[in-house]
A and B are shown apart, each in its own frame.
Chain A
Amino acid sequence: MVDTAEVLLDIRDLDISFASPGETIHAIRGVNLTLRRGETVALVGESGSGKSVTMKAVMGILPANATVNSGSITCSIELEEKKREIDLLKADDAFIRRFVRGKKIAMVFQDPMTSLNPTMTIGNQLIAAIRSHERCSRKQAFSKALNLLREVGITEPERRMSQYPHEFSGGMRQRIVIAIALSCDPEILICDEPTTALDVTIQERILELIVSLQRKRSLSVIYITHDLGVVAKVADYVNVMYAGRIIETGTVIDVFYDPRHPYTWGLLSAIPDVESDEELYSIPGTPPVLSKEPEGDAFAPRNPYALEIDLKAEAPLFKISNTHSAATWLLDKRAPKVERPESLQKRIDKMKREAAEYVR
């Protein structure tokens, strides 16, 4: 399967470090990621693996102590009716403000309780967002804001416009945040853990909302999450991040049904399953602190399948198919043949069965 949709965002060899007193933290160590029109890409990993930092680099909102050492983030932007490939890392802030933030790419944050200005009405925040990219009267902006609220499922939008964020529940606030994010019709929506701060019943509805908006507006979406359940529901492509690198990448089918990296095995085994009697698996140890370069492979100390080479050198990305690659020495020709743990294989078989039943 070769994907031919237009590439909207292309991150190449991104490398970022943070200066903190006394040490440098090498947070992103060569990330590659491609987002095509209409598709959904998930970025999965533990806290501190570099998911959010990568997306902050895209939005140009890295903190002041961050340095981009190398790499490029290419985005095609229409300038004077002509499409141009722009490297966002080289563009100046004024350009990104005018043509990228909110206009081309919008971002929704994890916690809707803190994402809205507490001293501005919802209406004014929407109108301000609309008018930051569009020259229109307050009246026009107002009616557009009403439509946006309707679109995200807020009832009685006229009354809601003059209310303040604290008058809404978490789920409603996230809907409003999404409405603001979509206010200037961006092509790309980045969702940073969009449902983590919400309770489970609301999570489902917000996900459904994002999926339906995505279809209606043919949005391309990047999900940053550690919830593989969310990934399975919404994503076309999955990128598993560990210690600032993408260590396995592929379609949802590739990664869920044929995972190759022991870290991905761990993540999949750690999904709670109500029907199973087995004890819930957790990956032993903690992610490395990247203040010094890991010796050998970053995952080796936590990897029960680590080979001798893992302690000496970091595994390159081995290609498994056109869409699927993983960075583990187990894929090297010389490596001994290691099978996935049996319990995981059972899980995968079960997922396949369930999917088949669902299709039928």
Chain B
Amino acid sequence: MGKYIVKKLLIAVVTLFLVILILFLFMELMPGSPFNDPKLTDEQRMLLEKSYGLDQPVMVRFFIYLRNILKGDFGVSYHLSINTPVTVMIRSRLPLSMKIGFLAMLFGSAVGLCIGFLAAFHRGKAVDVISMIITVIGISVPSYIFAIALSYFVGFKWRWLPLLYDFRLPARSIVMPVLALSVFVMAVIARFTRDEAIAVLQSDYVLFAKCQGTSKATLLFRYVIRNSLMPVITVMALLLVGLLTGSLVTEQIFSIPGIGFLLSSAITSNDYNVVIALSFIYAAIFVTVRLLLDILYGIVDPRVRVSGNDPV
């Protein structure tokens, strides 16, 4: 198990290094600079770029950047909030995005798992058909549609909850974004759980256990649920990455001061350091979740633990 974890950890580090490199090179390819103001003369722009060290060759900048990252310095903002360290900007916004994402995940998967198992146990019956219609809608309709619908009815017409994010009412303000984001999670997990549970229910080992007169409770918890959960965990983790890092559009709709909102503004204004730092955080969260997932898989599925092979 130890060797398995070390191997996964090394892969994670290499992945993150490559991510930074590629991000850096891609930013270089992007047209324009952070100082695109038409009022600036060429000399003024050169001077600005020189003061931030942007006149250096790209590889030199890359290694300076890499060295700074290791010290926890992601540079300063050029445009959005001039000369504020990027870490400060992110630190004040990330927790809110993560909180909303985490709650959406929790709510979405709890409901999704229930619907999925219920549908699987009543396969072909009305419960199954209705829940599958709901999941098709949940998967195919983008979450911002739900966000707009919610904010129109609940926020604007009925005035139950604040229409936009309100600093005085933080708890009530995140109810709608959480609900809007959880619909997709709920639908994907319900669908996946149903298919997995049906496959497990038809498996030989469930049939054999049934032929041994195994009680319904044992059959349900130790055979069906446990074995169907494995692949569902993967999907959950990958969905979680998308949610923790905030949703660009949903944050815009409810004007939530999270990192999704920050990223979209940073991209439009060429604020390099913010874009790279945020993209790096996205990648870091993704890699960390994958790593945790691999370790979790090793714990849940004994076949992975012994062989040290990739579980997925």
Q: Which residues of A contact B (CB under 8 A)?
A: 59, 61, 64, 97-98, 100-103, 106-107, 109, 111, 114-120, 124-125, 128-129, 132-133, 164, 166-167, 177, 180-181, 183-184
How many residues of B are counted as interface, with CB atoms below 8 angstroms from the partner's CB atoms?
Answer: 25
One of A115, A118, A120, A184 near B208 (C-beta < 8 A): A115
Q: Do the beta carbons of A102 and B211 come within 8 Å of each other?
A: yes
> Chain A contacts of B123 at CB under 8 A?
64
Query: What's the minimum C-beta distance from A336 to chain B, rounded to whole angstroms?
Result: 47
- In the complex formed, the residue of A with least CB distance to B307 is A166
**With contact pairs A117-B222, A119-B227, A128-B222 given, residues A61 and B303 touching in the complex (Cβ less than 8 Å):** no
Bound state CA distance, A207 and B125, in angstroms? 43
A43 CA / B200 CA spacing, docked (Å): 28
Write the chain B residue with the least CB distance to A166: B303
CB-based contact A166/B211 at 8 Å: no
- Known: A115-B205, A119-B227; 4 extra A-B contacts, CB below 8 A, are A106-B212, A118-B302, A133-B213, A181-B212
Contacts of B223 in A (CB 8 A): 117, 120
Residues of B within 8 A of A101 (CB): 210-213
Render B163-190 as a binary contact track against A, CB cut-off 8 A, 1 for contact: 0000000000000000000000000000
CB distance from B306 to the nearest CB of A (A): 7
Q: Do residues A128 and B218 form an inter-chain contact, with CB atoms below 8 A? A: yes
Contact with A along B105-127 (1 / 0, CB 8 A): 00000000000000000011000
User: Which chain A residues border B222 with CB–CB below 8 Å?
Assistant: 117, 120, 124, 128
Q: Closest CB of chain B to A344's CB: distance in Å?
A: 37
Contact A114 B215 (CB under 8 A): no
Residues of B within 8 A of A (CB): 123-124, 203-205, 207-215, 218, 222-223, 226-227, 230, 300-303, 306
Q: Is the CB of B300 within 8 A of A119?
A: yes
A114, chain B: closest CB distance, angstroms: 4
User: In whole angstroms, how far apart are the Cα atoms of A105 and B207 in the complex?
Assistant: 14
A119-B226, A119-B227 known; A107+B208 contact, CB < 8 A? yes
Q: Cβ of B204 and Cβ of A97 under 8 Å apart? A: no
Contact of B213 among A103, A109, A124 (CB under 8 A): A103
A109 to B211, CA, bound (A): 10
A106 to chain B, nearest CB (A): 7
Q: What residue in chain B is nearest A128 (Cβ atoms)?
A: B218
- State the Cβ distance, A182 to closest chain B Cβ, in Å: 10
How many Å from the CB of B289 to the closest CB on chain A?
A: 22
Q: Which residues of A contact B205 (CB under 8 A)?
A: 114-118
Q: Which residue of the partner chain A has the closest CB to B202?
A: A63
- Measured CA separation A140–B246 after assembly (Å): 54
Given the complex, which residues of B lie within 8 Å of A167, measured CB to CB? 306
Contacts of A98 in B (CB 8 A): 213
Minimum C-beta distance from A38 to chain B (A): 22
A109 and B212 contacting across the interface, CB-CB below 8 Å:
no
Tell me the complex Cα distance, A98–B209, Å. 13
Q: Which residue of B lies closest to A96 (CB)?
A: B213
7 contacts between A and B (CB under 8 A): A64-B123, A97-B215, A100-B213, A109-B207, A114-B204, A120-B222, A124-B222
A106 and B211 in contact, given A119-B300, A166-B302, A167-B306 (Cβ under 8 angstroms): yes
Does the CB pair A132–B226 fall under 8 Å? no
Among B209, B211, B222, residue most surrounded by chain A Cβ atoms (within 10 Å): B211
Contacts of A164 in B (CB 8 A): 302-303
In the assembled complex, the Cα of A61 lies from the Cα of B212 at a distance in Å of 11
Which chain B residue has the least Cβ–Cβ distance from A112?
B204
Contact A132 B303 (CB under 8 A): no
Residues of the B chain whose Cβ atoms lie less than 8 Å from the Cβ of A184: 212-213
- A125 proximity list for chain B (CB < 8 A): 209
Q: In the complex, which residues of chain B have a beta carbon less than 8 angstroms from the beta carbon of A118? A: 205, 227, 301-303
Taken together as a complex, chains A and B put the C-alpha atoms of A102 and B218 apart, in Å, by 15
CA distance in complex: A166, B311 (Å): 14
Asked whether A117 lies within 8 Å of B218 as measured between CB atoms, the reply is: no
Q: Is the CB of A183 within 8 A of B208?
A: no
On chain B, the residues within 8 Å of A100 by CB distance are 213
Q: Is the CB of B212 within 8 A of A180?
A: yes
Determine if B214 and A132 form an interchain contact, defined as CB atoms under 8 angstroms apart: yes
Partner of A128, one of B210, B214, B300: B214
Distance, CA A111 to CA B51, complexed state (A) = 72
